[in-house]
Structure 1
């Protein structure tokens, strides 16, 4: 009778550990997904607002910022000079903050993916037992 109780306790503990491993894999895979991740770019709204202001002031690709010389160069060469948010001093800071945060989030999601795949590889054969 005593052995049976110990076995059940071990089975319960093993089931809890297995559930924790599966839960961690699921969490990490969700975190690796940009749309499902719990971490978001904290500068997203401010960046979008700045981008809207930029487009209203300077045009979609900053065409209102072009000098006469740049316009002539474009016409001559068939090229197009594109200005982005970070090219304008008043928006440079938010642009840098947003893109630095984006890179950090990409690194985080990549780490989550790698950890999930390590767990998946380690426990692969146990997933179908």
Structure 2
């Protein structure tokens, strides 16, 4: 049955997808991209930096090619780590938290839990959100490190 809905969604969103495709061709980005610019940037800049590193024909005159490769590698690493989807560090409590929060596609009402379930819920919830905070701080630090290099070498990101 899910395939039926996927087909309906495909045709439902096809006009918008065509519009966004044309916008990207005309102005380089679409309205859709602006709704989640952070996601778009991190998913666009990393492949661009990788391509620059692989296909470059030169490097800044005040450093060596090896130093330039290291700078590009650091930018790639920092922006990859800043992206929640590609970060090497993940929340190991994500599945447990999801299982505690949802059952049969419905959100579980904490008031209907027994004492043991409520205790487990609070424990997992606490661990999950503490880990999320750690991950946020880590990813934000990597983003800032990436932007420092991006800012310092911005005028050299060409080939």
Q: Shorter-normalised TM-score: what interval?
A: 0.5 to 0.7
TM-score (norm 1): 0.62
**Residues 111 and 25 from structure 1, CA distance in 2 versus in 1: closer, same or farther, beyond 3 angstroms?**
same
Q: Is the CA contact 2:89–2:135 (under 8 Å) kept in the aligned structure 1?
A: yes
> Which structure would you say has the larger RCO, counting Cα contacts within 8 Å and 6 or more residues apart?
1
| Aligned mate of 1:102, from 125, 132, 156 | 132
Match of 2:143 in 1: 113
**Residues 63 and 116 from structure 1, CA distance in 2 versus in 1: closer, same or farther, beyond 3 angstroms?**
closer
TM-score (norm 2): 0.51
CA distance in 1 between counterparts of 2:120 and 2:139 reads 31
Q: Does 1:39 align with 2:89?
A: yes
Larger radius of gyration, structure 1 or 2? 1
Q: CA deviation at 1:104?
A: 0.7
Provide the aligned C-alpha RMSD in A. 2.7
Match of 2:33 in 1: none
Match of 2:101 in 1: 51
- Number of aligned residue pairs: give it: 94
